[in-house]
Structure 1
Amino acid sequence: MHYVSVEGLTKSYGINPLFRNISFHINEGDKIGLIARNGVGKSTLLRILAGQETADSGKSWINKDVTVALFEQDPHFEEDKTVLENIFHLKHPIITAIRKYEDAMEQEDGEMIEWLEQYLNQENVTLLLVTHDRYFLDAVCEEIWELERENMYVYTGTYENYMEKKAARIESELASIDKAKNQFRKELEWMRKQPKARTTKSKSRQDNFYEVEAKAKQKIEDVQLQLEVKMSRLGGKIVEMKKVYKSFADKPILKGFDYNFSKGERIGIIGKNGVGKSTFMNVLQQLEPADSGKIVVGDTIVFGNFSQQGLVIKEDMRVIEYVKTFAENFPLAKGGSLSAAQFLELFLFSPDKQYTYLSALSGGERKRLQLLTILFTNPNFLILDEPTNDLDLPTLAVLENFLSEYQGCVMIVSHDRYFMDRLVDHLFVFEGEGEVRDFPGNYTQYRIWLKDNEKKDNKWAVLESNKSKGQTTEEAVVAKAAAVVSTAPAAPKRKPSFNEKRAFEQLEKEMPLLEKERQDLTDKMSGGNLNFDQIQQLSDRLIQINQALEEKELQWLELSELM
């Protein structure tokens, strides 16, 4: 059953186009992840589908039996209504068609995210989702749609599949552009030699020249933010906390906390909202006083504090002016330095964007600027409080790469499970009432261990006792996690949707036709009766067929597992 059909949709803001002439269909039961860099139109597209904005051109049709529910990043509730009244104010249940789940994970704990994954995986939920949580994408979505360079690209499968297929697409496009550049040089030489009077034939070739020129000048903008920073020297003493107590409004945050930090530690902090995670980090940096206890910070320690509150800025100041209040030049790890303008370009702030007022920056741009100003201080102990909020997926991937190579200490609070799993070695688990546990493993390992031991009152004591059995605590946890995964019953096989069945049948028709065409071309090329231009033309077509077959075979393999 068709839920949504869109044809030729175009939207711009002023002279800046967001997307141009895009078309797509959403069927009952489809679960689609929509991704893109910040500012290219994800939210705008979804507001158009929800009827809150209008497109410049194009058509959109929504089935009359479908209710579109828009779940925004910053929802607005009516204060005179109860929680349930605000949630269920629609006549049609929200389960009918959730159109947007935009980064609500940022405010939910892990248990809520897992519950939501299970809820949205129900067959009768149709979903178009914007999120930066890659585990969530993999758990819920069957397709990933990407807005890029005013176009819509569709990828089937997981986030990893998307990355592989996008890399292949970009490689193919770059090869096509290189070919167009070579042809452009030849056509340009021909154009310069032609007299002003044009025959019909030469006029046709002139028109073709401009098409080739446009193709040759096309750019594949897959810009990657590269971070290479100089870190202040890290001495032997990091930070030691002894019997630290802290309460907030009679609510205990820390109750006799003891810990001696080591070089290169990567610590994740987890716990329900309001248990004092941010307060703990402020106490660690001595931005807030402890009620009692002792905190000794090493002489060489330079904290870099990426706070959840963001930048404290003057709205009427330009980006370049703000950065220069920290320093005119930025030292690099391998020697040399960059000017403030060069460093801003490194963080994807174009020369024009550098003279934008701070008040006009998007949430993601402010986060990038916040990170930039922190790195200007050459920190050797980074404290990151929800750093992934508002960052797009490409910037997130680069931040992860930077942090994985970073030689200093890192402490992270984040609801992004993928981000935490990739970067942290152990966790401080805030259980409330001042209890903080040290778990030796990443977030996924912790969730597996907790599910297996949640009914055991002495689970933490048992975990600690593993150290006396000739096995490190981390080894015990990892082994247990692996055992839980291997012995867990297989998840019930998901039934293919109508759309997936139709796609599978279409692939089984298309693939034999492409294989036959490939064989015919191969026979012609080996016949010895073709000139160079004919061979080149057939060779180009053969490359296209091989690429198409490879993509269709991958799709067929993925879909065949559901059949």
Structure 2
Amino acid sequence: MSILSTENLGHTFSDKWLFKDLTFGLQKGDRIALVGINGTGKSTLLKIIASKIIPQEGNVVFSKDIKVGYLDQEPDFTGLLTIADFIYTLNDAVQQLIRAYESMIHSPNPDQQKLEKLIDQMTVTDAWNIEQKIKTILTRFDIIDFEQKIANLSGGQKKRLALAKLLIDDPDIYILDEPTNHLDIETIEWLEKMLISGQKTLLLVTHDRYFLDNVCTEIKELHQGKLYTYKGNYSYFLEKKAERALMDASTLEKNKNLLRKELEWMRRQPQARGTKSKARIDAFYDLEEKTKNSASTASLDLNVKVSRQGNKIAEIHHLSKAYHGLNYINNFSYIFKKGDRIGLAGKNGSGKTTFLNLITQEIKPDQGQIILGETTKIGYYKQGGFPFQTNQRVIDAVKEVAEYIIMEKGETISASQLLTHFLFPPEKQFGLIEKLSGGEKKRLQLMRILMDNPNFLILDEPTNDLDIDTLNILEHFLMDFPGVLVLVSHDRFLLDKLTNQLFIFEKGKPITIYNGNYSDYRLTEETKKNLFKEIPEKTIIEKKDRTLDKKKISFKEKIEYEQLEQEINTIEAQIKNKTKEMNQTTDHQLLIDLSKEIEQLTTTLDQKSNRWLTLAELI
């Protein structure tokens, strides 16, 4: 039985129907992702289902006493002063009790009698478990100072605060619009585990392809005002969508052939003749509309020219930068080479954006220097977007950069033609930027940067708000990009595909360089943890006894020790190869098989590594 259902939903934007006659339901435990290109109405549909806006047609029906939680892309905190005002719901007696207790224990001179009374009430209402849950979730999102003013928070901090509150409240239905934006990778992986526990019901929009695979069990694609349902995760969706695209192409070709015949029939008929079949005329116009809609599907083209790059690209010498006494960059040196594809990994606040601002010389280092080559041309895609006037038209924002642009093969095209390449049709080109969706604004920002033909591309969270189709095109462009790429992204899929080297940031520690992509790095870290697990006490005593007895290693054990070294190297290489194979396939069954093989290999690696450590102790 559905706990939520929509009935013939329809909504318009700027005199155009986003969707019409949408009917579907949510069952308890469903984990559904809504996908589609920017501007199709995904966020609008979520707002309608969350009762934030009223649809122009149809309605949404909920089962009795269903509690819905909604995460907006830009959460609203109107009327709230501090974090505590938002976290502790006014009409929730237990949460208000916890707030009173927290306020009392942080008071310089608490009233002991009142405090004891609060402690008793906390025990009676079982508020201690809820308090622990609240603190665990908030700490995970780096929310510590509950009296901090909400107005002083950044956009990313506000989004994390809203998501934390949603997890604390644990509604019956989670409606999430881009939940992974502004989260670091470790927090995303933790969030995945939270959302798949306890049979939660989810309806979400996200561009994170690993997140879709790990969390969602059903995909709904919003395409040209209609919903297409795929029972499976994202990998399954890709497979079935490709099949549907082939069928659509075949149907389109048949419709075009039929339309030509019907058009000839329409032309042959005398204008005043009354015997013409009305049904056939209606069928002609219906076919014409279908063919026109199918043919209107465009594709994004990112083939802009890249500036020539000399031998000297950029050099970093003994770079240091500190804030409030904490070193974020400490005596770091690196010489960029042609073809460098570097990902920056680390928790939020560890210094990644500071590092990018130092490279682009937007801020000055405390020590050291950055030397750019004479031909190096940096393109910097920032998280915050670019500023624009509220009354500025899309085409004017492009013409600010250039009236004409040189493409990859040398041809010159106008700003208007380039906008069409980037999926901005004429009606949007002459519309106001403020009317664009969040993803369309990001796509416009990316276009402005690429127009300048950079050969050193810096992308700071480029995936935020972009639809998956645009991400796939961006990914293919960046794979072929001949210049230097420096990428900050919480999108593990993108990091795996596009980088072969990582700069690892840890707050207060020097930057470390890792050769490999993100999955390689995580696998290495997990292997290290397994290698250095705490050895059981019995094993420790046995090793001490052997040391005291000065037992020598036997010839057979020496041979075993040498063989184990080779076997461990072979298994590590196998795990690495199979991980790469996983990153390069979308075959659902193959992904499952590879995952099982990697799990078995990791178990074998642990066993052999422990034996190797035992023999190493003897030597």
Selected match of 2:599 from 456, 463, 488: 488
Distance 1:7 1:253, change over 3 A: same
Q: 1:104-145 CA deviation, whole Å, 9 max, x = no partner? A: 312212121111111211252011011110100110111100
How far apart in 2 are the matches of 1:308 and 1:290? 21
- In structure 1, the residue matched to 2:354 is 279
CA contact (8 A) 2:68 2:175 kept: no
Structure 1 residues without counterparts, runs of 5 or longer: 459-469, 491-563
How far apart in 2 are the matches of 1:294 and 1:203? 78
The residue identity in structure 1 corresponding to 2:3 is: Y
CA drift of 1:236 comes to 1.2
- In structure 2, the residue matched to 1:312 is 387
CA contact (8 A) 1:177 1:218 kept: no
- In structure 2, the residue matched to 1:293 is 368
CA contact (8 A) 1:9 1:57 kept: yes
- In structure 1, the residue matched to 2:318 is 243
The residue identity in structure 2 corresponding to 1:108 is: L
**Residue 30 (structure 1) aligned with residue 30 (structure 2):** yes
- In structure 1, the residue matched to 2:103 is none
How far apart in 2 are the matches of 1:321 and 1:297? 31
Distance 1:299 1:4, change over 3 A: same
Aligned-partner SS, 2:511: strand
Aligned-partner SS, 2:362: coil
Q: 1:149-204 CA deviation, whole Å, 9 max, x = no partner? A: 111111122223212222222322232232223223333333444454444x8344
How far apart in 1 are the matches of 2:514 and 2:222? 39
- In structure 1, the residue matched to 2:84 is 82
- In structure 2, the residue matched to 1:64 is 64
Selected match of 2:260 from 164, 181, 185: 185
How far apart in 2 are the matches of 1:157 and 1:70? 24
- In structure 2, the residue matched to 1:151 is 226
How far apart in 2 are the matches of 1:47 and 1:478? 48
Q: 1:269-321 CA deviation, whole Å, 9 max, x = no partner? A: 01111121111112122222221123222221111111222213333332222
CA contact (8 A) 1:242 1:295 kept: yes
How far apart in 1 are the matches of 2:388 and 2:244? 41
CA contact (8 A) 1:71 1:98 kept: no
> Which structure: greater helix fraction?
2
Q: CA RMSD in A?
A: 3.0
**Residue 426 (structure 1) aligned with residue 501 (structure 2):** yes
How far apart in 1 are the matches of 2:92 and 2:267? 66
CA contact (8 A) 2:46 2:177 kept: no
Q: 1:425-467 CA deviation, whole Å, 9 max, x = no partner? A: 1110101114211111111222222233248899xxxxxxxxx
301-310 vs 283-292, which moves further: 283-292
CA drift of 1:409 comes to 0.2
Selected match of 2:431 from 356, 361, 366: 356
The residue identity in structure 2 corresponding to 1:364 is: G
146-155 vs 363-372, which moves further: 363-372
CA contact (8 A) 1:315 1:357 kept: yes
Aligned-partner SS, 1:316: coil
CA contact (8 A) 2:320 2:331 kept: yes
Superposition map of 1:33-432 within 5 A: 33-77=33-77, 78-80=80-82, 82=84, 85-86=87-88, 94-194=169-269, 196-199=272-275, 202-432=277-507
Q: 1:471-508 CA deviation, whole Å, 9 max, x = no partner? A: 9xx99976555699645369xxxxxxxxxxxxxxxxxx
Distance 1:208 1:110, change over 3 A: closer
How far apart in 2 are the matches of 1:169 and 1:483? 30
Structure 2 residues without counterparts, runs of 5 or longer: 94-165, 534-564, 580-594, 602-619
CA contact (8 A) 1:68 1:97 kept: yes
CA contact (8 A) 1:242 1:293 kept: yes
CA contact (8 A) 1:347 1:372 kept: yes
- In structure 2, the residue matched to 1:518 is none
CA contact (8 A) 1:441 1:477 kept: no
How far apart in 2 are the matches of 1:343 and 1:55? 35
Distance 1:102 1:315, change over 3 A: same
**Percent identity of equivalent pairs:** 41
